[in-house]
Amino acid sequence: MSGRHNNFGSVNESNYMARQILTYVTIATFIALVAVLAWKGRGGGGETKEEPNGKISVTPTQIKSVKETGEWEFLTIDVEELADTTATRLIGSDRRLTRIYYGTLRLGIDLRKAADDWVKMDGDTVDVTLPHIIMLDKDFIDEAKTKAFYESGTWDQASREALYQQARRKMLSRCLTTENINIAQLNAVEQMTKLFQAMGYPYVDVHF
């Protein structure tokens, strides 16, 4: 598994199946990564070993490698927001600027912020402690998709920037909610459970 983001959830129903496929591909890639690390450990006389039931015994070195993969995405929210501003003139018509902004907010975790002992194994049980859900990208508005809905008069860059920030605040208010954070946490628990169960651990306890 590589790359900055690993997609695990979306509120966009049209992309549901594609993201489900991506989820399973990511799980398979994760397991392959652990298997490669295990093979390297055996070849180099490391501490990795394979249990009689075929389960891979994951070592601290391998867990560290997984941690260093970085950001994992568990919820994607596609949103559009209309923002407008009006400037009053003493003489002549008022100026008005209305624009439609499109953004994609990604909620997930940064495994690099996890504690050193974020994974604890005891027999066939795994205890996983994940860092808190965060917004992975601060620049989530796609300015290339921004559309001018209505514009009258002349506007400077500072005014356009103020309108951009207005749209950004509205998107955050709508999307960065307790409900969406809880959904991202549920997705994280579900997918982390699948990952470790796929590696042969039937009992997985995931918490934040």
Question: Residue 27: how many CA atoms within 13 Å on its side-chain side?
Answer: 18
pLDDT recorded at residue 2: 37
CB atoms within 10 A of CB 101: 22
Q: How far is 160 from 152, CA to CA, in rounded Å? A: 13
Q: How many residues does the chain have?
A: 208
Could you tell me the CA-to-CA distances from 184 to 78, 138, 160, 180, 188 in Å, in that order? 14, 17, 33, 6, 6
Side chain identity, residue 19? R
CB atoms within 10 A of CB 100: 16
pLDDT recorded at residue 30: 59
Query: Which single residue is written with the structure tokens 């300015």?
Result: 143
Beta bridge partners of 126: 121, 204
pLDDT recorded at residue 171: 95
pLDDT recorded at residue 84: 82
pLDDT recorded at residue 79: 94
* pTM of model > 0.85: no
Low-confidence ranges of the chain (pLDDT < 70): 1-59, 88-93
Alpha carbon of residue 159 to chain centroid:
32
